[in-house]
Chain A
Amino acid sequence: GESVGLHLPTLSVQEGDNSIINCAYSNSASDYFIWYKQESGKGPQFIIDIRSNMDKRQGQRVTVLLNKTVKHLSLQIAATQPGDSAVYFCAETGSGGYQKVTFGTGTKLQVIP
C-alpha cells in the first residue's frame, strides 16, 4: 500500500547551520504534502504545506521542496535554532476536500548549541 517514509531517523545540526529533513513518498496520487513539528509532550504543529503542482514553497525560515519525479519531499530550515529541536513529520493526502492524512514515521532534529 501507499506509504510515506523518512530517510533518517535522527539529524544533529549545529546551531546556526541549515537543516534539511528528507521524506520519500510512494503514492503518486497524493495532492498535498504537509510538514509538522512535534515537540516533546505536545501534539504536532503544522509548519507548511505544498501542493503537487508546485515544486517549492517558502515560509518563515522554512522551505519545502517537492520532486515528483523521484517522489521526494524535503524541509529546509535556515539558521537552525535550539527551539527547532523536535520530531518532524511529513504527511500526505489526496485531493478533493477532506481526506485521510498519512503520516511518516518522523525525523528527530537535535540542535547542538
Chain B
Amino acid sequence: AQSVTQLGSHVSVSEGALVLLRCNYSSSVPPYLFWYVQYPNQGLQLLLKYTTGATLVKGINGFEAEFKKSETSFHLTKPSAHMSDAAEYFCAVSGNTGTASKLTFGTGTRLQVTL
C-alpha cells in the first residue's frame, strides 16, 4: 500500500522568496515519486519525477525536488517564487513493480505568491 502526506494545504510566499512544499510518502516497495501542478480550470501537469539514479531531480519552471529515503520525503523547492507559480501542487507516488499502474496523490498544497 502507498500513501502521500502533504504538510500544509496552503502556503503563501512573497515573490522572489524560496518556495518549499513538503511531501512525505509511505510505500511498501521502492517508490517512484512525482510532483504535478494544477492551474485553475486545467488538468494536472507533470513538474518532475524521481524514478532511479540521482536523488536531486530538476523539473520545469525552475522547480526541483530531492528524494530522501531516510526521511521518506520528496520536498519540492524553487529558489525564487514568481507570480505565475501560484497554483495547486500535488505530490504522488507509484510503485515500481511490474503490475503498478496507478498514481496515489496527496491532498495538494495551494501556493499563493504575493507582491
The answer to whether A and B belong to the same complex is: no
